[in-house]
Structure 1
Amino acid sequence: MGGTEHLSVERVGAALVLTLNRPEAKNALSLPMLVGLYDAWLAADEDDEIRSIVLTGAGGTFCAGMDLKALAGDGMAGEQYRDRLRADPDLHWKAMLRHHRPRKPVIAAVEGYCVAGGTEILQGTDIRVAGEGATFGLFEVRRGLFPIGGSTVRLARQIPRTHALEMLLTGRPYPAREAEGIGLIGHVVPDGTARDKALELAELINACGPLAVEAVKASVYETAGMTETDGLAAELARGWPVFDTADAKEGSRAFAEKRPPVYRRA
């Protein structure tokens, strides 16, 4: 399934593993990477056999952000993809999950540097695992830049405001344990095992009813900005139809029969 010279795509069971693959540049964002990511998000949602997505990086690094040399005028790799950006000027933002949310759960498996644009992409993922040597941070202000990938909006909604503002305004690095402590990531594992842990979580998700999983994810995000009253009403509207599905009946039947359920997205 797809992929580009800077993005590897692999199926592992019902999980789609996307690997940022530009290790010589610490997986700095490039046009081939962004185009590959956007196409992969769409392909994953269109394939009913895929139930979760794992996003990781090659060479012991997640992503060091935008290619600053390219921003300085040295040119960005993959000029052959430029027509894709012309056709869809928002493609790079969708690729970075700034205002595109896949239906399927996205698990980040972080090793090494996950900074600047890497930390911005991270905020678009649903579950986050990191090796103990990983480093996070939004370094833009140190370069006189603005973290325009969504961090000034999303970060304070995901972690306490005081921590969000410290990260945004100091531009300092955060080791994995500190990132876990402020709630930016959920698991810290030995270096080199983040992908394994992410796939372990993906396998748990993949064993669940896919219609239920996707409805739960959608409900969490769509109710986030609502009042409690409106959110509870929206939850009922989203959740009740799940009970009428064949998968819901199969889940109950399998439980009663003490066997694994066989879900068919129906």
Structure 2
Amino acid sequence: MGGTEHVLTERVGATLILTLNRPEAKNAFSPAMLVGLYDGWLAADDDDGIRSVVLTGAGGVFCAGMDLKALAGDGMADDTHRDRMKADPDLHWKALLRHHRPRKPVIAAVEGPCVAGGTEILQGTDIRVAGESATFGLFEVRRGLFPLGGSTVRLQRQIPRTHALEMLLTGRPYSAHEAERIGLIGHVVPDGGARARALEIAEQINACGPLAIEAVKASVYESAELTETDGLAHELAHGWPVFGTDDAKEGAKAFAEKRPPVYRRA
């Protein structure tokens, strides 16, 4: 399943778990982490046996954002990751879900700090769970920087604009409960329980028809900025073909026979 020294990969049933694994640096992004993330997204896209992805962090930390020294190559023993990034100048944006949207649902399981680039990659995920001591925020303006991971575009589309602007312009930290209140995350659980809750949600997704799941996700994102009329036409284009699949027939048959469906992506 791949991975790098800074991204651990694990398979639990039909769920791929990507774990940011640089806790000594609060899981700050490094070339090895970005390459590992991008390879993980591609693996999920390419493997029909994977129906969902959980993104989490090691050591009770989600991600503290970008590590500028690591990205410059300081102290790296292996230049392989840097060479990958040079060969694909867009790789870091794809890894951070700015220029890539996985076709499978992505669930974030957040513990501890999820700030700066951590809050930015969070906005590329679909469902978000956090431990009650998790913290969020876009700190870039406090350092005279700009949040280039997509936040000035995405955040106002995901939470009310007044909250988006406050987060972007103050650079202050947000607690998990405040992040839930403004709609940035969907669930707050006891500390240490985010991964387990994310896997529970993943299992619910995995039990559904995979073709239907992927069509629903695509329709939601692709119609988000369309007019209602255009969006409804787009929905038909994604949804109507699902009804002609063997999986749709299996779903109805399983319901009638009072048994769990067996979906085959057909």
Length-normalised TM-score, structure 2: 0.98
Read off the aligned partner of 1:141 and give its amino acid letter: V
The answer on 1:33 being equivalent to 2:33 is yes
Q: Alpha carbons of 1:196 and 1:244: their partners in 2 closer, same or farther (altered >3 Å)?
A: same
**Seq. identity, %:** 82
CA contact (8 A) 1:211 1:265 kept: yes
Q: Which residue of 1 aligns with 2:136?
A: 136
CA contact (8 A) 1:31 1:79 kept: no
- Over residues 32-56 of structure 1, what are the superposed CA-to-partner deviations in whole Å (9 max), with x where a residue is unaligned? 0000000110011110110000000
CA contact (8 A) 1:69 1:75 kept: yes
- Over residues 181-226 of structure 1, what are the superposed CA-to-partner deviations in whole Å (9 max), with x where a residue is unaligned? 0000000000000000000000000000000000000000000010
Deviation of 1:99 after TM superposition, in Å, equals 1.5
CA contact (8 A) 1:30 1:76 kept: no
Q: Alpha carbons of 1:212 and 1:76: their partners in 2 closer, same or farther (altered >3 Å)?
A: farther
> Separation in 2 of the partners of 1:90 and 1:45?
18
Q: Which residue of 1 aligns with 2:229?
A: 229
Read off the aligned partner of 1:75 and give its amino acid letter: D
Read off the aligned partner of 1:206 and give its amino acid letter: N
> Separation in 2 of the partners of 1:230 and 1:206?
30
Length-normalised TM-score, structure 1: 0.98
> Separation in 2 of the partners of 1:157 and 1:226?
13
Deviation of 1:68 after TM superposition, in Å, equals 3.9
> Separation in 2 of the partners of 1:70 and 1:41?
22
Secondary structure, aligned partner of 1:8:
strand
> Separation in 1 of the partners of 2:74 and 2:87?
20
> Separation in 1 of the partners of 2:199 and 2:248?
25
Question: Unaligned 5+ residue runs, structure 2?
Answer: none
Q: Which residue of 2 aligns with 1:124?
A: 124
Q: Which residue of 2 aligns with 1:19?
A: 19
Secondary structure, aligned partner of 2:103:
coil
> Separation in 1 of the partners of 2:205 and 2:123?
20
Deviation of 1:70 after TM superposition, in Å, equals 4.2
Secondary structure, aligned partner of 2:27:
coil
> Separation in 2 of the partners of 1:74 and 1:34?
13
Deviation of 1:85 after TM superposition, in Å, equals 1.0
Read off the aligned partner of 1:20 and give its amino acid letter: L
The CA RMSD over aligned residues, in Å, is: 1.1
Q: Which residue of 1 aligns with 2:63?
A: 63
Secondary structure, aligned partner of 2:155:
helix
Deviation of 1:82 after TM superposition, in Å, equals 1.2
Deviation of 1:86 after TM superposition, in Å, equals 1.3
> Separation in 2 of the partners of 1:117 and 1:61?
13
Kindly report which structure 2 residues correspond to 1:199-238, keeping only aligned pairs within 5 A, or say none: 199-238=199-238
- Over residues 161-196 of structure 1, what are the superposed CA-to-partner deviations in whole Å (9 max), with x where a residue is unaligned? 000000000000000000000000000000000000
Q: Which residue of 2 aligns with 1:75?
A: 74
- Over residues 50-77 of structure 1, what are the superposed CA-to-partner deviations in whole Å (9 max), with x where a residue is unaligned? 0000000000000000014447x68264
Q: Which residue of 2 aligns with 1:91?
A: 91
Q: Which residue of 2 aligns with 1:43?
A: 43
Read off the aligned partner of 1:93 and give its amino acid letter: W
> Separation in 2 of the partners of 1:134 and 1:74?
30
> Separation in 1 of the partners of 2:70 and 2:103?
32
> Separation in 2 of the partners of 1:101 and 1:79?
27
CA contact (8 A) 2:105 2:126 kept: yes
> Separation in 2 of the partners of 1:22 and 1:197?
23
Q: Which residue of 1 aligns with 2:197?
A: 197
> Separation in 2 of the partners of 1:81 and 1:187?
35
Q: Which residue of 1 aligns with 2:169?
A: 169
Secondary structure, aligned partner of 2:260:
coil
> Separation in 1 of the partners of 2:124 and 2:75?
24
Q: Which residue of 2 aligns with 1:263?
A: 263
Aligned residue pairs, count: 265
Q: Which residue of 1 aligns with 2:108?
A: 108
Q: Alpha carbons of 1:74 and 1:47: their partners in 2 closer, same or farther (altered >3 Å)?
A: closer
